[in-house]
Copies of this chain bind each other. A is one copy, B any other.
Amino acid sequence: MQKYVVRNIPRPAPDILEAYRELDVSTVYEAQGKQGLMHPYLRPLIPGSRISGPAVTVICPAGDNLMIHAAIEVCRPGDVLVVTTIGDSDHGMVGELIVRALMKRGVQGLVIDSGIRDSAVIRELGFPVWSKAIHSMGTTKNRGGWVNAPASCAGVLVNPGDLILADDDGVVVVRRGDLASSLEAARKRIEKEEGTRKKIDNGELSVDFYGLRETLRDEQVVYYDDLSDVPEN
């Protein structure tokens, strides 16, 4: 397949990006119908990091980071670099120098279905990264691939310009066509959770306010007062 770089991609409007910044990954994943969640082997380098921005996607052959270098040029402030490989990889594909270059371009963070290195320096620089591994093993930079092609990253299909939201719980992708509806659904969910939080603070039980006692009955769950009341198997 023809290898390429696409220079310009559609990006969500700034107010949308801003609105998503208030949201967390678990809420958005649930709100959009349990879709778009990357595999939990992606872990944050810096606990507490949170990012929300449009994806610039990169597909590299495993063990080569040429296309990451090619991607830097097309990044704009606020973007999130999403890197995946053809073939499984845990190389240290991104190190201090590339991170500095990304920060220079105003890139918000990195999601990489492979490894990084110079982790101590990157932590000091405060650059948010979600990766599969920390590994010194280096790459070549001489094999072509794609920038801004549809990419399969940690089990999820990412299109260039999709919104990437990442926090301590993981990474979720919101398709561009779903930005408005997912946002609305997320806000409703938050409101509802606010109500639930109050009920819990008042000492109400979820088996009551979710109506689960009926489900328990339907599922033929019986109650015994003591262990000795349970019949022998």
Interface residues of A, Cβ cutoff 8 Å to B = 1-10, 24-26, 29-30, 32-37, 39-40, 47-48, 61-63, 66-67, 69-70, 72-73, 86-88, 90, 92, 95-98, 100-101, 104, 115, 117-120, 123, 133-138, 141-145, 148-152, 155-157, 159-161, 167-170, 172, 175-178, 193, 196-197, 200-201, 203, 205-207, 210, 212, 215-216, 219-227, 229-233
Contacts and interface: CB of A to CB of B under 8 A. Distances in A.
Given A8-B225, A86-B34, A101 B205 contact: yes
A27 to B, nearest CB: 9
A71 to B, nearest CB: 9
A115 B37 CA distance: 15
Number of copies: 6
Contacts of A62: 63, 137
Given A6-B227, A35-B86, A157-B157, 20 more contacts: A3-B219, A4-B222, A5-B221, A5-B222, A5-B224, A6-B223, A8-B226, A9-B226, A26-B92, A34-B61, A39-B88, A40-B115, A62-B137, A66-B215, A69-B206, A72-B207, A98-B206, A118-B169, A136-B169, A143-B219
Contact of A224 (B7, B86, B98, B104): B7
A1 B215 contact: no
A148 to B, nearest CB: 7
Contacts of A24: 118, 120
A9 B155 CA distance: 24
B226 A6 contact: yes
Contact of A6 (B98, B219, B229): B229
A1 to B, nearest CB: 5
B221 A70 contact: yes
Given A97-B193, A97-B196, A233-B175, A223 B135 contact: no
Contact of A200 (B97, B157, B169, B175): B97
Instruction: Give the most central of A67, A155, A205: most B CB within 10 Å.
Output: A155
Contacts of A66: 212, 215-216, 219
